[in-house]
Structure 1
Amino acid sequence: MKKLIVAILILGTTLNSCSDFIEEDNRSYGSAEQYFLTAAGFESLINTNYATLKDIYGGDPWLFEAGTDMYSEGRNQEPEGLAKYLTLSSSSAGVDQLYRTCYIAIQQANKGLYYSTLTEKSSTLDNRIGELKFLRANAYFLLVQTYGGVPIVLENINTAVTAFDRNTAEEVYTQIFKDLNEALPAVSTAAYNGRVNKRAVQDLLAKVYLTRGYETFGTPADFTTAASLADQVIGGQALAVSFDNVVKPGNEMNAETIFSVQFSAASNATGTTALGSSQNYWFSSYLGAAAAGNPYPNRSYTLCPTVYALSLYEKGDKRWEGTFMNEIYSRYYDYYDVADKAALKITDFYEPKWFTTADRGAWILDNTSRMVNPAKFRYHNWGTYSSSAASGGDYNLIPVRKFDDPKAPYSGATSANYNTTPITPATNRSSTRDFIISRLGETYLTAAEAYFKAGQSGTALARLNEVRRRAGGGVAGTIPVLTSIDINTILDERGRELLGEYHRWFDLKRTGTLVERTVLYNPKVTTTNAFAGKAGNLKVLRPIPQSALDLNRSKNYPQNPAY
């Protein structure tokens, strides 16, 4: 097998510390090769591996969320090809994001595994080897879902290699399983503390088995295994943390977090708008005067929830107010910074789907005294603030608050200058919050889907309804449990629970519903012709980036069929 490493993916890579738990040691200690042979040096190398997750998940979200049923383009333009498919090609903007970042992560893991055989022994060495194999498997899992078969590279390479062959998707899955099954007995069994542990490996294994089950080379046993693994991750743990606390800023290390990318103000210190996460930036409209004070609640007005996404929520579903800021105060972040909100004035209210005319009148009557000024207060009727109506001014879209970061240092953006000098997408990585990759609510939904595909609808319903019970808050008048289940029921529930959490494109691609549901619910993709590719193939896989093809001298690396 020929090797893949393109120079732009390896050379000049500089990474930053992962978290308060995982910090790199950048002391000078002779050459890097000498340093990695010491226990301290090898530990620093492992921590650099964790830092690669920051660029995989911390940057642009297009390959995770654009062009789906949940989000469509707002006032700012998304990459045309990824958002609307018609012009999608190997040269389209954003197509290479996961290709670049995942192969950087793979190369770092290969380096760590190489030095693991040479470095001095320590009590944590086996744990760290397992962590490296998990991180490499995670990168390959993102690649194979996005691009199909890709080159498998397992060697530590120090020079650029420009000739490489393409492995099949089936071969990539085999390698992912090998890495994860070797990681499982090696990693720590302790509670999650920022490093990969046994539960994180089991959770990823469940997702990989579930996803492979849909492939032509998958088997029914994949779904049964996925269900069993998901239940092992759950381990009898109820969804006891309220949804509001699951998404609460600063509470990312709660009891339901399984694996996350760890950010912090300290690790962002040398690049306050470039080294953090951008998840808080993408899913809302501009907020104008509500940004008074510091920090500024910067929003891109780009990935906007569709009517479908907003209409998923029912009366009594705690996730509505946990996901969206349906009331905006004169200063947006007073929601987090002021304990007693009774005296705070509100500028905007976004009416939920279930409001009747009577509900509207009653709300206005009850809240007139809270309005900043009745003449300036804005009441947004249901149906007026989805992505379909997002081409107007500030506040035209309900803000997504579940990723808010009141501590994000938005340097250069204030209420006085934002409309003329906004932070650009190239410098929007300001959030200091951890980026949660896996959490228990999603694991329950993984189990539900796996049991459903394994033909055990009763157990599937039980897992899904546990998520709904937590969402209803366990009080009278909560959302009802479901009595039947199909793939659309599961996708609807995943939409409610996981809005904006960088799963949606993979969910639709995995379940074979990408074309159908995007055309049905995304107002910017209205016909299946948008997905039409070469020779009758659909643009479901993303194309291999042109930058990789241009640097490749091998003849055994075909482009995906639709391109």
Structure 2
Amino acid sequence: MKNKKYLKYVLLSLTISIGMSSCSDFLDEVNYSSQSADKYYQTKSGYESLIVGCYSNLKNIYNNTNFQIFTQQGTDVFTQNYPTEITPMNQYTTTYQSSNGTVYSMWSSYYNALKNVNAAIDRSENVILRTDDPDGMEPNTLAQRVAEAKALRAWYLLEIIRNWGKAPLEIHEAKEPSYTVEYADGAAFYKQIFEDLEAAIAVLPYRQTGSNYGRMSKAAAKHIRALAYLTRGYEDYADSKDFENAFKDAEDVYLNSGHKLLDDYAMVHRQSNEMNDEIVFAIGFADAANYNTNIWNQWFMMPYSIGGWLGLGKDSYYGNASAHVKAIPAKYAYLMYDWQKDRRPSVTYMSPLNGDKNTSVDGKDAGKNWFQCTTPVDGVFAKGDKIIYFPVPTDPEYKVWSASDKDKVRYKVFNFPAGDASDMSDDDYYKYAYQTTNSTSRTFLPIWKFKDGNTEFKEDESGSGTRDIYLFRLAETCLIAAEAAVMNNDNDNAIKYINYVASRAAKNAPVAGLTGYSGTVTLDDILDERAKELLGEGSRWNDLQRTRKLAERVLKYNWDVSNIHGGTIKTTLTEESFKNKFILRPIPLQWLNSLSNGSELGNNPGW
């Protein structure tokens, strides 16, 4: 573990100074690449440190609770933990405005990342080449580093344009602050994205292995390009071949990259197997000081330690749970699986599989479908006793507990959701006030596939995880191919690629017989399969936005959107408001106010 990633130990102080700049006042912060050290960045070691800084920005963006809110709230498979609160980005209320802090944070993070990659690309022209100078770089190495930076830049640009629709197109290192900017439209952004990816694909190796694992590769760049073609394909300015090209790139990665779908979904998420053939690109963490900061392991876990549960104290057995969980699974996220015939729910959630250290994702037994006593209470609970029990369909003792059944045991029982996936009113998971000191927090079966065997409880909730974050994996590449085929009226390939994922889900399931796809594959089929395969990974919000299915599916499955404070407050989300407003994020008001021409630039429609 300690030497698994090339970027984990190189010039830590430079990584911090270059890659972890403040998100505030970003127009003023022009010295992200330490311009006073021009000479240093011309050397091999200096330029390599600049590239490491580019990669460190990935952690700033994706290992951040703002990313969880930005990508999961307000969707069909995630909702909010606190039903008594107004949660603007989940419920689309009038309180969701252009001054939203999460939107501003994400905007700033992407542009801070762009500053670093732009500096790396622009400064490459002055790097000393290796002749007789020991400080020089080999030309081939330099070309690869520039290609990596261009692939990263293309990804950041895609993130910006798919969320905001228009924005400043920053492709050069800022030498001085500027308070007057111009928007570029989607067509200009995609032109730059495809230019950067074409340049990267021409240079990068198909896979990065050994000490280079964790760097951008040709497979990762083609995955990005497939998603970019797919996303642009839905726009008014799309090219007629966008869906065809998206399919070609995704299929090429599947057939020729050397990446493979693993036979067992459990092995994809097994911490001891995280460097596996399915992972196209990952953000690396390690167990050395300053690098064990992954916080994903606490995002989708019930806040057990602050809930007032007798016998459940703060303990490293469960590690940290976010005290203010931002997104929890909606009812549909539990019911969309056939738990007996699909391997994925047992891997994804607390379950008997995750309660056995020989099969669990984290190599521990803490993921069983009940919380055990960590703080003994004399005469009530001994250490290890059940405190909270979640019967799940794969539990040999599974049943629906009646009120009288529950009264016979000391521990609390929360029945598995049942009935209409759009109605959460009577389900145990979505009630609250079970706890004595945290009566507004819901109790729910946690997502476990991101849990980390190396975590410890920290009072300040700082990260202690060492697991990699999977940014792209081949299962998603297959689903990109399937979606592109659907949109290109190529049903044969849509069936083939969606079934690559669905057929893997059937392997090692408790019961055989999971039905694959046949007939005509639809966008809803794609979205269902993406939800089951990639729950909590990537951006669910962008999946629904891209396919224009957000309002339809959110209003159908996210009960908290349609039942704000018992229906006394109305959501502003409708099919019409989605098309005219919520299809894009608001341009952050804080950023506009920092410009001399902010009022002239204006905001996105509806904001």
Instruction: Look up the equivalent residue of 2:248 and give its one-letter code.
Output: S
Q: Tell me the distance in 1 between the aligned counterparts of 2:181 and 2:546.
A: 27
Q: Which residue of 2 aligns with 1:6?
A: none
1:263 positional shift:
1.7
Question: Alpha carbons of 1:184 and 1:380: their partners in 2 closer, same or farther (altered >3 Å)?
Answer: same
Q: CA deviation at 1:206?
A: 0.5
Alignment pair present for 1:98 and 2:106: yes
2:240 aligned with 1:197: no
Give the whole-Å Cα distance in 1 for the aligned partners of 2:121 and 2:43. 14
Question: Is 1:324 aligned to 2:364, yes or no?
Answer: no
Kindly provide the CA deviation profile for residues 282-317 of structure 1, in whole angstroms up to 9, marking residues without a partner as x: 213123456664254322343111111111110211
Summarize the alignment of residues 378-393 of structure 1 with structure 2, pairs less than 5 Å apart: 378-383=412-417, 388-389=430-431, 392-393=434-435
Could you tell me how far 1:511 is from its partner in structure 2? 0.3
Counterparts in 2 of 1:106 and 1:390: CA distance versus 1, 3 Å: farther
Offset at residue 24 of structure 1 (A): 3.1
Residues 390-399 or 212-221, more deviating? 390-399
Written as runs of structure 1 = structure 2, the 5 A alignment for 1:537-548 is 537-548=580-591
Aligned to 1:208: 228
Structure 2: any 5+ residue segments left out of the alignment?
A: 15-33, 130-136, 306-310, 373-383, 418-425, 436-440, 563-569
Structure 1 distance, partners of 2:173, 2:264, is 44
Whether the 8 Å CA contact 2:544–2:550 is kept in 1: the answer is yes
Q: Distance in 1 between matches of 2:434 and 2:286?
A: 35
With over 3 angstroms needed to count, the CA separation of the structure-2 counterparts of 1:261 and 1:287, relative to structure 1, is same
The answer to whether the 8 Å contact 1:72/1:303 transfers is yes
- Counterparts of 1:31 and 1:346, CA distance in 2: 60
Equivalent residue runs for 1:128-147 within 5 Å: 128-147=145-164
Task: Find the partner of 1:351 among 391, 395, 406.
Answer: 391
Residue aligning to 1:337:
364
After the TM superposition, which residues 136-285 of structure 1 pair with which residues of structure 2 at under 5 Å, given as runs?
136-192=153-209, 193-235=213-255, 238-266=260-288, 268=290, 276-285=293-302
Q: 1:428 to 1:305 in 2, by over 3 A?
A: farther
2:559 counterpart SS class:
coil
Q: Secondary structure at the match of 1:260?
A: strand
For 2:272 and 2:197, the matched residues in 1 are separated by 30
Structure 1 length normalisation: TM-score?
A: 0.83
Q: Secondary structure at the match of 1:468?
A: helix
Deviations 1:67-92 (A, max 9, x none): 11111111388883212222211112
Q: Which amino acid aligns with 1:337?
A: K
Contact kept? 2:551, 2:573, Cα under 8 Å: no
Structure 1 counterpart of 2:542, from 481, 506, 525:
506
Residue 603 of structure 2 is aligned to residue 559 of structure 1: yes
1:515 — aligned with what? 551
Identify if the C-alpha distance between structure 1 residues 391 and 138 changes in structure 2 by more than 3 Å, giving closer, same or farther.
farther
Output the CA distance in 1 between the equivalents of 2:108 and 2:260: 38
- Which SS does the other structure have where 2:334 is aligned? helix
Counterpart residue identity of residue 104, structure 1: N
Say whether residues 1:483 and 2:518 are aligned partners. yes
Secondary structure at 2:503 match in 1: helix
Choose the corresponding residue for 1:441, options 472, 475, 494.
475
> Percent identity at matched positions?
28
Instruction: Judge conservation of contact 1:131–1:183 (CA < 8 Å) in 2.
Output: yes
Judged with a 3 Å threshold, the aligned counterparts in structure 2 of structure 1 residues 533 and 222 are, in CA distance, closer, same or farther, namely closer
Contact kept in structure 1, 2:82 and 2:442, CA below 8 Å: no
* SS of residue paired to 1:96: helix
Q: Give, in whole Å, the separation in 1 of the partners of 2:361 and 2:146.
A: 45
Output one character per residue of 1:447-471: Cα deviation in whole Å (capped at 9) or x when no partner.
1111111101121111111111111
Change (3 A) 1:30 1:311: closer
Number of residue pairs matched by the alignment: 518
AA aligned to 2:278 is: E
Return closer, same or farther for 1:320/1:217 CA change in 2, 3 Å cut-off. Answer: same
Q: Any conservation in 1 of the 2:63–2:295 contact (CA below 8 Å)? A: yes
- Give structure 1 stretches of 5+ with no counterpart: 1-16, 363-367, 413-422
**CA RMSD of superposed structures (Å):** 3.5
Which amino acid counterpart does residue 283 of structure 2 have in structure 1? V
Query: Whole-Å Cα distance in 1 between the matches of residues 151 and 124 of structure 2?
Result: 15
d(CA) in 2 for partners of 1:72 and 1:560? Answer: 25
Query: Counterpart in 1 of 2:50?
Result: 45
